[in-house]
């Protein structure tokens, strides 16, 4: 430790150069400066308080620096030393030092500016992650196209009190995962928030919601801006919130009954029964028999937002007794829709009051997905609120395009109708056809093999229509919904409160028409009170509620619970509604309660219902009992209803074991008022469950159970037994360690129909097993699943886009000028990629059994590389095997599919399999490195025009060896068997036997630079059909060069000689030639990459090709990417 000591100095001698100083020391090391100039080493002495010279081990003297270092010592020391004469230590200067400017200060008087290197850092001070790229592609066989991608996240502080959160994502292809843009110029997802302790501003893709109000309850995903501010203190606080946005989602609800053993997919529709809807991600809520489910492969369901289909996982078996309700928002872009929202809330200690306003309106002069002409607007003006009157002729004049399905107008036999035409000289019309029901139209579907369905006219027979379609479209009217609500609460003391809410709505279903506007406005009110009458060991609360809702009052989302209509049997009941509720809650202890409730529901003049319910749970030591029981009696103008239901469970737990039973029953009787006959809604069931379990559900456990269900339905006007079902299930996590785990789920259900004696068994199972053996010598991952479901007949079309932005190309194999679906192929080069595939909604499903096996094995013998003998030899090998098999076979009869590999008697509907087995020798060492792979791929799909089955079996041998430091030899041999089977397109049927040999030699200039010469010989033979053959010789060179300055350049040049026998314009030729032409072909490519700065890099690519029969094609692109 260095310090300047406070010391006492007495000048015992001051006669010239000898100096004496006294120093008071302490118990820490000290470094003392004795003088400002160097000391003379001929004399130096230190004595203590008694005059005894100090031991030289206790100090250290530096004469040049005039410093004394002392060890810890508590004493008073006297130091004597000798200075040099002044003329030796004096500083001499030519100029007066007071008039000389120091060098450091002089740099500011005379300074030549130097160019400083830029230290700019984007978003300095913020935490950023992501990149942005922009690029262009141009060629002599395509127009200029742009591509872009943005993925940026920002988090940080803008100041001491203001923070920012932002996420921006954008891509050329606006298919949503978390976003929902439908145009190229829209962001897929953008979100930005500025916030402090008492305010916040959000912009971009937002979730707006209000869950504080009963009548103005909503959750919307929008694009806009919102803000909130809060001021006051804990005793008096005010909150203001506001938002303005464009609405991208419209609320919709799909209700359906599950199909026995069918896990899906189930199709979701729009509010006007549209089949093709794009669901906004994360907006859905799924309920089964009133229970809300959880999304995820390991949970209850998965959903495809782009196709609007929901599928239930193996872990949640679907039966025919399940009522499924799905709420969601979907993109409704008929008009630009504006949303405005605002609210204010003031809170005090004992009371609060709030008001909210919401408006959602279509801007009728800004249609998006429909372009209305004057005639169509006139139809909307006369239609009022009736959607059945909003139908209009769909035909309009259009120009010829090979990517359109067009019609010409024909007059024949006294009928004027539309007929398909692809003749550019005809007067052509774009016509849309709507399904109007069997024998209600004059058109029928003629073909679905083209990119657009082709319809044909069918003349009436004796005045009766013979078709199902008409050239009409459903017009969508612009709407407006406005809601305002005021609510408040008063709490005079703990456990007592009174709250109220009043709401007003204005719902205009057609902004073009004033017809039917008399029912636009509505009113609703609610008052609720709770009070604790006993607050001792037993706690007793009483409550009451009165609610009135006029028949014209409209909410944004549903007002009541998901099964309110069924609970009261009011699905087709209308009128002013009043609901009175009263009850009491009894709590004998902190873990138990029972609530009795009486409710009276009335719709003006045509319905009155009374319901009593008991809900509660009782906990006593290890025993738990809970129940939810209700009784309904209702009288309506048409039907009378008696509905009794109960769900009761008893559970006993001790340590890590449990056992329980459940009773679930319903008796739902609906009778006609006049005839007292049962109606079809009437049904009854009783279900009993028993289960036992052991373990910890978060670690290892097992639970097994049995379920018996009796279903009664209406038969001959009486409720009688129609089916019985026995179910057995087991779910478990049998073990879970650091290296292994095993979980098993199985649910077997056997349904027997009473009247016919037929049975329908279903099995849903899932086994997941992961393990490592022999110190990681063997690693395995296994998942096995069985389930029942359905496979959709896939229906799709191809949309033309700018070349380079697509994925497919069209080859007119049969020369008829019609773009048929099986004539589209994956484009081998970017300039040919002019089409994208778009799947269309389909309601045709085939029932199937599904088995799925995913299995991965790894044999890692390299762990023995330090051993000797046979193990040392084996350490040079590595074996990897993977199976992914997903099969769907026709569900017919009572069988259950167990075998994932199938059997000969199975009627295969769809399959997606990938089997790969590889053996490695000296893996990654370039020393006689050898890889043998056996690959088997199969993809069978059910299309709306028939099935398509593709199979590929490949044997591949790869060899690589570093001859010396500079030369690398490689050899690849491959045997392929490629089979295509098309049910309805004969030219797509072929079986290819392919052989390929490719030697390659490379010269390594350094680790970052190499050049290669290669030759490839291929022999391809089609052993079916026209027996096409191809012998291909390819020779070429490739190089790669990269530097430490983050510069990369690589390229390739290839010359092909194709000896092809057969029709070069056939589908088989396209597969064999892989986009090349018979005869001589040349291809080349060049890629340049360079990091321009720490945050910016550039990619420049150029590729081309030429042949004897086609022009030379050049394609180039440049892309800049910035990193954050």
In tens, the pLDDT along 867-891 reads: 888 888 898 999 999 989 988 888 8
Could you tell me the two tokens for 1051? Answer: 């390229």
Per-residue pLDDT at 88: 66
* CA 226/CA 329 separation, integer angstroms: 20
pLDDT given for residue 156 in this prediction: 84
pLDDT band at 305 (very low <50, low <70, confident <90, very high): confident
What is the mean predicted confidence (pLDDT) over 250-271? 86
Most confident of 107-116, 443-452, 601-610, 832-841: 601-610
**pLDDT band (50, 70, 90) for residue 15:** very low
Q: Residue 994 has what pLDDT?
A: 95
List strands edge to edge, sheet with 407-412: 396-397, 428-430, 407-412, 415-420
pLDDT value of residue 410: 92
| φ, ψ (nearest 5 deg) of residue 1059 | -100, 95
* pLDDT for position 6: 36
Average pLDDT for 436-455? 85
Task: Give the chain's end-to-end CA distance (angstroms, integer).
Answer: 46
Task: Report whether 436 contacts 444 (CB < 8 A).
Answer: no
Please give the Cα distance from 179 to 187 (Å, whole number): 8
335-348 vs 236-247, strand pairing mode:
antiparallel
- Is 80 exceeded by the pLDDT of residue 748? yes
Cβ proximity of 180 and 279 under 8 Å: no
State which CATH number among 2.60.40, 2.30.30, 1.10.3470, 1.20.1070 fits the domain covering 18-109: 2.60.40
Structure tokens at 257: 């009954």
Per-residue pLDDT for 114 more than 60? no
Q: Structure tokens of 768?
A: 């997941």
Cβ contacts of 476 within 8 Å, gap of 6 or more:
272, 334, 335, 370, 390
Structure confidence by residue, pLDDT tens digits, 48-58: 776 667 766 67
pLDDT at 819: 82
Cβ atoms of 434 and 401 within 8 Å: the answer is no
Residues 1026 and 990: their CA atoms lie apart, in Å, by 9
Q: Determine the pLDDT at residue 104.
A: 52
Residue 12 scores a pLDDT above 70:
no
Higher-pLDDT residue of 646 and 776 is: 646
CA distance 348 to 233: 10
Sorted by sequence, the CB contacts under 8 Å of residue 945 that are 6+ apart come out as: 448, 449, 821, 822, 983, 984, 985
pLDDT score of 1019: 95
CB atoms within 10 A of CB 1117: 19
Determine the pLDDT at residue 843: 65
Task: Please count the other Cβ atoms lying within 10 Å of the Cβ belonging to residue 327.
Answer: 19
463: left (phi over 0), alpha (psi -120 to 50) or beta: left
Mean pLDDT score of the chain: 85
pLDDT digits (tens, 9 = 90+) for 493-546: 888 999 999 999 999 999 999 998 989 999 999 999 999 998 888 899 999 999
More confident residue, 301 or 144: 301
User: What is the model's pLDDT at position 585?
Assistant: 94
Residues of the chain with pLDDT > 70, as a percent, come to 91
For residues 796 and 863, what is the distance between their CA atoms, to the nearest angstrom?
51
* CB within 8 Å of 307: residues ≥ 6 apart: 265, 839, 841
Show contacts of 1032-1040: CB within 8 Å, 24+ apart. Answer: 1032/1056, 1032/1057, 1032/1058, 1032/1059, 1033/1057, 1037/1011, 1037/1012, 1037/1013, 1038/1011, 1038/1012, 1038/1014, 1039/1009, 1039/1010, 1039/1011, 1039/1012, 1040/1009, 1040/1010
Give me the mean pLDDT over the 439-447 stretch: 89
- For 1107, the token pair is 């042949």
Residues 6+ apart with CB under 8 A from 101: 109
- For the residues 987-1012, what does the mean pLDDT come to? 91
Report if pTM > 0.85.
Answer: no
Q: What is the pLDDT of residue 831?
A: 81
pLDDT at res. 178: 37
Check whether 109 has a pLDDT greater than 60: no
pLDDT at residue number 587: 92
Look up tokens 């001790």; give the residue. 654
Write the CB contacts of 747 (distance below 8 Å, at least 6 apart in sequence): 317, 727, 728, 729, 763, 764, 765
Band of pLDDT at residue 98, cut at 50, 70 and 90:
low
Q: Domains of the chain: which residue ranges?
A: 18-109, 249-332, 391-474, 800-832
Determine contact, residues 499/486, Cβ cutoff 8 Å.
Answer: no
The pair of structure tokens assigned to 441 is 């139209």
pLDDT value of residue 832: 84
Whether residue 135 contacts residue 145, with contact meaning beta carbons closer than 8 Å, is answered with no
- DSSP state, 163? E
Of 307-316, 426-435, 797-806, the least confident: 797-806
Q: What is the pLDDT of residues 204-254, one digit of tens each?
A: 888 888 989 999 999 888 889 999 999 988 889 999 999 999 887 788 889
What would the mean pLDDT of 267-275 be, rounded to a whole number? 80
pLDDT in tens, 2-11: 333 333 333 3
pLDDT at 474 over 50: yes
Strands (E), 509-638: 521-535, 539-549, 577-589, 592-603, 607-620, 623-636
Residue 112: Cβ-neighbour burial (10 angstroms; 0-12, 13-18, 19+):
exposed
What per-residue confidence (pLDDT) applies to 101?
57
Most confident of 118-122, 189-193, 965-969, 1042-1046: 965-969
Lowest pLDDT segment from 503-512, 599-608, 902-911, 1067-1076: 902-911
Q: Is residue 139 very low, low, confident or very high in pLDDT (cuts 50, 70, 90)?
A: confident
pLDDT digits (tens, 9 = 90+) for 697-726: 888 999 999 999 999 988 888 888 889 999
pLDDT at 177: 39
DSSP β-ladder status, 877-890 and 845-860: antiparallel
Please answer whether residues 81 and 44 qualify as being in contact, where contact means their C-beta atoms are separated by less than 8 angstroms: yes
Confidence bin at 171 (pLDDT 50/70/90) = low
Comparing CA positions, the residue from 1083, 532, 465 lying closest to residue 829 is 1083
Residues 1104 and 1115: their CA atoms lie apart, in Å, by 6
Q: In this structure, are residues 509 and 372 in contact, taking their beta carbons and an 8 Å threshold? A: no
pLDDT at 380 over 80: yes
């Amino acid at each position: 430790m260095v310090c300047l000591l406070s010391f006492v100095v007495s000048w015992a001698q001051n006669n010239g150069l000898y100096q004496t100083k006294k120093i008071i020391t302490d118990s820490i090391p000290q470094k003392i400066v004795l003088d400002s100039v160097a000391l003379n080493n001929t004399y130096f002495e230190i004595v203590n308080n008694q005059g005894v010279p100090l031991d030289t081990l206790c100090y250290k003297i530096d004469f040049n620096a005039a410093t004394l270092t002392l060890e810890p010592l508590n004493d008073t020391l006297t130091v004597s030393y000798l200075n040099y004469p002044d003329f030796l230590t004096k500083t001499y200067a030519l100029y007066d030092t007071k008039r000389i400017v120091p060098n450091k200060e002089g740099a500011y008087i005379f300074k030549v500016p130097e160019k400083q290197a830029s230290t700019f850092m984007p978003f300095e001070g913020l935490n950023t992650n992501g990149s942005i790229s922009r690029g262009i592609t141009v060629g002599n066989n395509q127009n200029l196209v742009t591509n872009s991608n943005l993925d940026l996240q920002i988090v940080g502080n803008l100041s001491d009190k203001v923070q920012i959160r932002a996420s921006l994502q954008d891509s050329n292809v606006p298919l949503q995962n978390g976003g929902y843009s439908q145009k190229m110029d829209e962001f897929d997802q953008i979100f930005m928030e500025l916030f402090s302790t008492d305010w916040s501003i959000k912009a971009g893709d937002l979730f707006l919601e209000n869950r504080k109000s009963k009548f103005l309850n909503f959750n919307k995903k929008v694009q806009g801006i919102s803000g909130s501010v809060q001021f006051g203190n804990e005793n008096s606080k005010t909150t203001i919130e506001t938002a303005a946005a464009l609405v991208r989602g419209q609320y919709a609800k799909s209700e359906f009954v599950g199909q026995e053993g069918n896990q899906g997919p189930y199709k979701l529709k729009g509010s006007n029964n549209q089949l093709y809807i794009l669901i906004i991600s994360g907006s859905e809520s799924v309920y089964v028999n009133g229970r809300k489910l959880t999304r995820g492969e390991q949970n209850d369901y998965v959903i495809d937002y782009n196709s609007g289909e929901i599928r239930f996982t193996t872990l949640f078996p679907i039966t025919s007794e399940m009522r499924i309700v799905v709420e969601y928002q979907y993109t409704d872009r008929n008009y630009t829709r504006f949303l405005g929202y605002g609210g204010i809330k003031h809170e005090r200690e004992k009371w609060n009051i709030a008001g909210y306003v919401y408006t959602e309106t279509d801007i009728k002069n800004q249609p998006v997905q429909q372009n209305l002409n004057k005639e169509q607007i006139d139809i909307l003006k006369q239609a009022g609120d009736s959607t059945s009157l909003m139908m209009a002729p769909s035909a309009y004049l259009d120009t010829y395009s090979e990517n359109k399905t067009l019609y010409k107008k024909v007059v024949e036999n006294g009928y004027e109708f539309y007929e398909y035409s692809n003749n550019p000289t005809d007067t052509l019309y774009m016509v849309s056809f709507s399904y109007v029901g069997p024998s209600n139209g004059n058109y029928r579907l003629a073909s679905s093999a083209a990119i657009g369905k082709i319809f044909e006219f069918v003349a009436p027979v004796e005045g009766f229509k013979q078709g199902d379609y008409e050239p009409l479209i459903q017009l969508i009217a612009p709407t407006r919904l406005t809601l305002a609500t005021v609510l408040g609460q008063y709490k005079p003391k703990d456990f007592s409160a009174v709250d109220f809410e009043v709401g007003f709505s204005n719902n205009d279903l057609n902004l073009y028409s004033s017809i039917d506007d008399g029912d636009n406005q509505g009113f609703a009110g609610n008052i609720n009170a709770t009070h604790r009458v006993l607050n001792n060991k037993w706690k007793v609360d009483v409550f009451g509620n009165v609610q009135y809702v006029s028949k014209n009052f409209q909410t944004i989302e549903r007002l009541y619970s998901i099964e309110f209509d069924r609970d009261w049997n009011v699905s087709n009941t209308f009128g002013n509604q009043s609901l009175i509720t009263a009850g009491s809650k009894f709590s004998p202890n902190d873990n138990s309660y029972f609530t009795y409730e009486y409710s009276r529901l009335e719709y003006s003049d045509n319905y009155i219902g009374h319901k009593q319910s008991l809900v509660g749970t009782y906990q006593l030591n290890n025993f738990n009992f809970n129940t939810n029981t209700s009784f309904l009696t209702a009288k309506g103008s048409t039907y009378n209803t008696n509905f009794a239901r109960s769900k009761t469970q008893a559970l006993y737990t001790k340590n890590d074991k449990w056992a329980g039973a459940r009773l679930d029953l319903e008796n739902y009787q609906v009778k006609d008022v006049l005839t007292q006959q049962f109606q079809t809604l009437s049904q009854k069931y009783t279900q009993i469950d028993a289960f036992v379990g052991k373990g910890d559900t978060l670690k290892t456990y097992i639970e097994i159970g049995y379920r018996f269900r009796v279903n009664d339905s209406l038969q001959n006007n009486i409720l009688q037994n129609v089916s019985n079902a026995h179910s057995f299930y087991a779910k478990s996590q049998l073990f879970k360690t650091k290296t292994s785990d095993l979980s098993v789920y199985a649910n077997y259900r056997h349904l027997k129909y009473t009247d016919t004696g037929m049975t329908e068994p279903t099995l849903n199972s899932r086994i997941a097993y992961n393990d490592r053996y022999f110190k990681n010598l063997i690693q395995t991952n296994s998942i096995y699943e069985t389930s029942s479901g359905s496979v959709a007949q896939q229906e799709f079309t191809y949309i033309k886009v700018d070349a380079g932005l697509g994925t497919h190309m069209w080859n007119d194999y049969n020369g008829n000028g019609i773009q048929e679906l099986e004539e589209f192929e994956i484009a081998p080069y970017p300039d040919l990629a002019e089409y994208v595939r778009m799947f269309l909604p389909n309601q045709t499903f085939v029932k199937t059994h599904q088995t799925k096996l995913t299995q991965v094995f790894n044999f890692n013998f390299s762990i023995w590389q330090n051993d000797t003998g046979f193990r040392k030899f084996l350490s040079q090998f590595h074996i990897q095997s993977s199976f992914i098999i997903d099969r769907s076979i026709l569900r017919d009869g009572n069988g259950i599919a167990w075998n994932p590999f199938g059997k000969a008697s199975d009627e295969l509907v769809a399959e997606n399999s990938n089997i790969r087995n590889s053996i490695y020798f000296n893996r990654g060492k370039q020393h006689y490195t050898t890889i043998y792979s056996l690959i088997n791929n199969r993809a069978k799909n059910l299309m709306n025009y028939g099935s398509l089955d593709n199979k590929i079996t490949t044997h591949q041998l790869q060899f690589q060896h570093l001859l010396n430091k500079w030369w690398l030899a490689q050899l690849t041999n491959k045997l392929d068997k490629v089979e295509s089977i098309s049910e309805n397109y004969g030219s797509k049927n072929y079986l290819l036997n392919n052989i390929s040999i490719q030697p390659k030699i490379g010269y390594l200039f350094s680790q970052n630079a190499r050049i290669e010469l290669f030759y490839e010989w291929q022999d391809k033979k089609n052993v079916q059909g026209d027996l096409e053959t191809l012998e291909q010789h390819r020779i070429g060179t490739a190089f790669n060069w990269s530097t430490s300055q983050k510069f990369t350049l690589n390229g390739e040049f290839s010359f092909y000689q194709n000896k092809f026998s057969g029709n070069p314009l056939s589908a088989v030729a396209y597969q064999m030639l892989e986009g090349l032409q018979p005869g001589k072909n040349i291809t080349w490519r060049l890629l340049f990459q360079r990091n321009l700065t720490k945050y910016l890099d550039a990619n420049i690519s150029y590729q081309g090709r030429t042949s004897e029969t086609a022009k030379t094609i050049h394609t180039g692109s440049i892309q800049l990417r910035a990193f954050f």
